[in-house]
Amino acid sequence: MPKRANGEGSIFPYRNGYAAYAWVTTPAGERRKKWVYGKNREIVHGKYVKLLNEAKQRPIATTVPTVEQYIAYWLKEVIEPNREPNTYSHYELMARLHVLPGLGKKRLDRLSVRDVQQWLNKVPGACQCCAQGKDAKRPTDHKDARKRQRCCAIGKCCEDFPSRRTIQAARNTLRAALTQAQTEEILSRNVASLVKLPTARKRTRKASTWTVEEARRFLEYARENDDPLYAAWVLILVMGMRKGEVFGLRWADIDFEAEELSIGWQLQRVGTRLIHKERTKTDGSTDVLPLPSLCTAALRVRHGQQAVARQASGKGWHKGDLVFTTRTGRPIEPRNVNRAFETRCAAAGVKAIRVHDTRHTCGKLLAALDVHPRVAMQILRHSRISITMEIYTEVPSEDTRAALKRLGDHLRRPDDQGGSPPQSAA
């Protein structure tokens, strides 16, 4: 055996090659041995010298978890206690469906830029129905043809490919976890920050906006049929409020005398929990906004509907201050709103779009209601009046203006007032 060189006192033959160790300080502050291995002395010597240099610069982990093990720790100990429930739910979903199936078995410190890039390149072509077994979970026989196995489970792939936004969210989830590993000095660099996002498969999407005329027809149908969610549709269409903001709205947030509304709460479904939380999506979303007369009238109608429901429910009424509730005063399940909206679109004879997509009609409706551009700018939360004026150049027909005015006048009938808004219940 050749004489050991200076500084190689820890290198020795091991099994079919060589091994070496150096004393390092772990991220936990403990002094431990860190081992390196190789087929010959030269390889081990290079690893050993590199290890000594790194140990002088930063703490070194002696045991490194897999990507799956570390993300499980990161979600439980870092994200869940310190971030919003919806953020935790999002990260957990992206990790479970996309990151872990492709990279979960890789050791964290051996994860390379190439590994992450190759994984990302495969995501756009992975049918999520096949990967998650969505169709396989359906019964082979069912009286309703829509609930039977119909695509991937019977060899007819539905090509449910992830969107670019989903691919980006999956990459961001991995990047956030590796950033925490850097903070804990387990890793020296974040390889997920160095990859390029692949181009997602193009998917044709149906038209997702309404004209002012379609919005008017929808609102007229809802009002004529005394829809308990009529005021909610008005707030979404005219105020541009998000679904969670509307169904988290409290009577205490509405000032009928000043005709103002404060957006400070939202209702969200996170896993198995329905959460009514104070924090909203953006800081700008918590402003006090002016209420157009159509919205004020619709909310008074809603108050009258709720008073009737409270009286009919009697002792079964669930005390609270929410504007939109079930017949027993409980919060409304957001997923039920989607189904209700789809049903009402069909009944009103307008094209079916998502509830969220109705917000794009907001500016046009404000123009049709003759709301002053400065007021509309505040409602739409635009930073410049020029942006608002671009929307106001799309002038609706006089017939549409007259119809919307009649709708508002109809709502101001004395029997629709419903009295003053209820006080916050304990």
At the fourth CATH level, the homologous superfamily of domain 67-126+161-193 is Tyrosine recombinase, N-terminal domain (1.10.150.130)
Kindly report each contact of residues 139-148 with a partner whose C-beta sits within 8 Å and lies 24 or more positions away, as own/partner: none
pLDDT in tens, 237-270: 888 888 888 999 999 999 999 888 888 888 888 7
Q: Which residue has the higher pLDDT, 6 or 185?
A: 185
Amino acid at 187: L
* β-sheet bridge partners, residue 31: 25
pLDDT score for 77 = 93
pLDDT score for 403 = 58
Look at phi and psi of residue 418 and say left if phi exceeds 0, alpha if psi is from -120 to 50, else beta: left
Beta-strand ranges (E) seen in 226-330 are 254-255, 260-262, 266-270, 273-277, 288-290
Asked if pLDDT for residue 109 goes beyond 60, the answer is: yes
pLDDT score for 407 = 57
Confidence at 408, pLDDT banded by 50, 70, 90 = low
pLDDT score for 424 = 42
Q: Where are the domains of the chain?
A: 11-57, 67-126+161-193, 212-416
pLDDT score for 35 = 87
pLDDT in tens, 371-386: 777 777 777 777 677 7
Largest CA distance in the chain: 104
pLDDT in tens, 276-304: 877 544 544 457 888 888 889 899 999 99
CA dihedral 23, 26, 31, 35 (to 10 degrees): -30
CATH architecture classification, 212-416: Orthogonal Bundle (1.10)
